[in-house]
Amino acid sequence: MTKPHPLTDEICDQITDELGYDTIENAMRAGADWQLEQDYNRLEDFVEEFSYRGHNDAANYELRCFLSSFIKSYMRLTQEDDS
């Protein structure tokens, strides 16, 4: 059995207050946006390294298109009425 997550409601409220977010949901969205940006940067670094390894332009382009589509479709599911 795993240990319970140490992020209690009290800690969430404290983080929300200290960072100036009006709700924990907005704080979580900001955290998710930050994580998405970090993941995107890592993917960009990977693509850059991929291109340096001698892959041709078509392979580089195909990989970039796939990653762009992946990020838009799978990593960031959004709703129009929820920002």
Give residue 9's pLDDT.
81
What is the pTM for the complete model shown? 0.53
User: Would you say 43 and 63 are in contact if contact means Cβ atoms under 8 Å apart?
Assistant: no
DSSP 73: I
Residues 24-77 pLDDT 10s: 788 888 888 888 888 878 888 887 887 777 778 888 788 888 877 877 776 655
Q: CA of 83: how far to CAs of 38, 64, 66, in Å? A: 20, 26, 25
User: Residues 5, 40, 51, CA angle at the centre, nearest 5°?
Assistant: 135
51's tokens: 């291109």
